[in-house]
C-alpha cells in the first residue's frame, strides 16, 4: 500500500498544489489541484475519490477529471464522502450551472460518476485496504481518513480545529505509523484560524499533547508565503515531537 502526495499546500503559486493523495494507482484522498500532475492514463485508472469536505481546494479536480477521462472508463468513478458533503457537491457543483451532472452523463443507467455516502466512523474495504472516516471539526461538514494496510496505517486529519473526538479515535489505532495533520495559519493569525476552524502552531501544540501514539507527524495545509515561519513556530511550540513539513511527491509505504 503506497501513498503519494500530489498536493499538500493551503494555496497555489510556483510549485504549490492543494490537497490530494494518491493511494496506489486507483484511489484519491481528496482531489485538489495536485491531481493535475497525473497523466491522462493515470487519471483514467482512478476508481475512487474519498473527499474530506467540499471546499474547493479539496475537490476542484473532480469535475475536470470526470470530464477528461469519463469516456475512457468502463465504470463510473465513485465519490465517497459524508451525506452532507455529497449534498453540497450535488447542489453547488454538479448542478448543470457550475458543471454538468455526471451522475446523468452519458445516461442515468451508465453514468461517468456515482456517489457513495459514508457514515461517521464507517469503513470501506478495497482489495484489503481499509479506509475509515475519522472525526474532524471544520466550518463545513468534514472528516479525516484512516488508511490501514493491515500491517501499518496512516491518519490524515483533513481540515480541522481542536477536536477531542479525533484524538480519542487516533489513540486507539495500534499500528499507526504516520499522522498527517493540518496547520493552516501562523500564530499571528490565530483569530482567523479559530474563526475558520483551522489550526495555528500554538493550537497544534495543545492538540498534540493529546496524542499518545508513537508515530511520525507531518504538517500539511501550510499557507503559501508562510511555510518557513509556520514551521519555525511549530518547532518552538511543540514539545516531545518533531513534526515534519509534508512535501509534494513524498511517498509513504504501509
Q: What is the pLDDT of residues 211-237, one digit of tens each?
A: 999 999 999 999 999 999 999 999 999
Residue 94 sits at φ, ψ, to 5 deg, of -90, 65
The C-alpha atoms of residue 186 and residue 228 are separated, in whole angstroms, by: 10
Q: How confident is the model at residue 203 (pLDDT cuts 50, 70, 90)?
A: very high
- pLDDT band of residue 62 (cuts 50, 70, 90) is very high
Tell me what the mean pLDDT of segment 133-156 comes to. 98
Phi and psi at 44, nearest 5°, equal -70, -15
How high does pLDDT run on average in the chain?
Answer: 97
Residues sharing a CB contact under 8 Å with residue 202, sequence separation 6 or more, in sequence order: 187, 190, 233, 237
Average pLDDT over residues 43-69: 98
Averaged pLDDT for residues 17-24: 98
pTM for this prediction: 0.97
Residue with the three cell numbers 501544540 = 205
Q: What is the pLDDT of residues 38-55, one digit of tens each?
A: 999 999 999 999 999 999
| Residue 129 near residue 1, CB atoms below 8 Å | yes
Q: Domains, the chain, ranges and CATH?
A: 2-253 (3.60.15.10)
187 near 226, Cβ under 8 Å? no
Question: What is the pLDDT, as a whole number, of residue 16?
Answer: 95
Element (H, E) at 167: helix 164-170
Q: Which of 64, 247, 41 is nearest to 49 (CA)?
A: 64
d(CA 37, CA 18) in angstroms, rounded, equals 11
Res 14 pLDDT > 90: no
pLDDT band at 168 (very low <50, low <70, confident <90, very high): very high
pLDDT digits (tens, 9 = 90+) for 170-200: 999 999 999 999 999 999 999 999 999 999 9
Q: What is the mean pLDDT of residues 67-95?
A: 97
Question: What pLDDT score was predicted for residue 18?
Answer: 98
Q: Give the Cβ contact number of residue 247 at 10 Å.
A: 11
HSE at residue 65, side-chain half, CA atoms within 13 A, is 30
* Residue 20: band (very low, low, confident or very high) from pLDDT cuts 50, 70, 90: very high
For the residues of 8-36, what is the DSSP string, one character each? Answer: -BSS-BTTB-BSEEEETTTEEE---GGGG
Closest by alpha carbon to 252, among 142, 131, 149, 137? Answer: 149
Amino acid at each position: 500500500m503506497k501513498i503519494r502526495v500530489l498536493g499538500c499546500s493551503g494555496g497555489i503559486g510556483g510549485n504549490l498544489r492543494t490537497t490530494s493523495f494518491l493511494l496506489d494507482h486507483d484511489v484519491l484522498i481528496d482531489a485538489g489541484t495536485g491531481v493535475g500532475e497525473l497523466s491522462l492514463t493515470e487519471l483514467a485508472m482512478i476508481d475512487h475519490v474519498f473527499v474530506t469536505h467540499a471546499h474547493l481546494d479539496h475537490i476542484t479536480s473532480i469535475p475536470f477529471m470526470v470530464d477528461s477521462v469519463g469516456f475512457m472508463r468502463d465504470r463510473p468513478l465513485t465519490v465517497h464522502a459524508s451525506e452532507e458533503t455529497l449534498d453540497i457537491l450535488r447542489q453547488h457543483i454538479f448542478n448543470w450551472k457550475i458543471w454538468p451532472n455526471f451522475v446523468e452523463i452519458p445516461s442515468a443507467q451508465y453514468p461517468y460518476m456515482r456517489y457513495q455516502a459514508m457514515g461517521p466512523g464507517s469503513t470501506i474495504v478495497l482489495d484489503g485496504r481499509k479506509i475509515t472516516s475519522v472525526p474532524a471539526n471544520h466550518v463545513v461538514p468534514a472528516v479525516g481518513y484512516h488508511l490501514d494496510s493491515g500491517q501499518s496505517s496512516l491518519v490524515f486529519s483533513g481540515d480541522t480545529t481542536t477536536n477531542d473526538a479525533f484524538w480519542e479515535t487516533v489513540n486507539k489505532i495500534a499500528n499507526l505509523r504516520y499522522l498527517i495533520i493540518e496547520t493552516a495559519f501562523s500564530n499571528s493569525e490565530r483569530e482567523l484560524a479559530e474563526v475558520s476552524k483551522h489550526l495555528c502552531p500554538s493550537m497544534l501544540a495543545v492538540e498534540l499533547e493529546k496524542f499518545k501514539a508513537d508515530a511520525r507527524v507531518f504538517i500539511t495545509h501550510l499557507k503559501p508565503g508562510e511555510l518557513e515561519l509556520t514551521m519555525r513556530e511549530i518547532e518552538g511550540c511543540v514539545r516531545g515531537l518533531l513534526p515534519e513539513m509534508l512535501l509534494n511527491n513524498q511517498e509513504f509505504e504501509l
